[in-house]
Amino acid sequence: MVGIVFLRIIYKFNITFISLEKLFELDIYDESVVNSYASMFHTCRVLLFKEGFTEKSHYALFIFIKDKYKDKIEKKFINEFNNLRLERHEITYGLDKFIVNKEETKQVLEIAEEFLKAIIKLV
């Protein structure tokens, strides 16, 4: 079961990652950040499903990863996942314009890709 779910989620990650790279090329940085978070979110779901759970909220998934995988995932990835969760929320629901620059977005894209590689090692 985990194998099929894993493949579906990795597929979802790849589709999301392709679209966020296109957004970056078009200088649409805020949506690139949102999609980077989405790719990380879907990747984390693999670990959740592996343990027999489903996600109920973005925050709950973060807490699960932070608590259950703190010794298996580098702290920088866990912190970045949470930072991007908060940025995504602000970009999507915030009343003020959230400005994201090109350099920050490029770093986020790199972290999302590294994050996937780290999660694959755990599955």
Residue 25, both tokens: 């090329």
Q: What letters, b where the CB count within 10 A reaches 16 and e where it falls short, cover 35-69?
A: bbbbbbbbbbbbbbbeeeeebeebeebbebbeeeb
CA 2 – CA 110 distance, rounded (Å): 26
- The answer, yes or no, to whether residue 11 has pLDDT greater than 80, is no
What's the Cα-to-Cα distance from 37 to each of 16, 17, 83, 113, rounded to whole Å? Answer: 10, 10, 9, 11
pLDDT value at residue 2: 55
What CATH number is attached to the domain comprising 14?
Answer: 1.20.120.330
User: What's the pLDDT band for 17 if we cut at 50, 70, 90?
Assistant: low
Total domains in the chain come to 1
| Overall pTM surpassing 0.85 (yes/no) | no
For residue 113, what are the domain limits?
Answer: 2-122
Q: Over 90: is that where the pLDDT of 43 sits?
A: no
DSSP string over 3-53 = HHHHHHHHHHHHHHHHHHHHHHHTT-HHHHHHHHHHHHHHHHHHHHHHTT-
pLDDT of 100 > 80? The answer is: yes
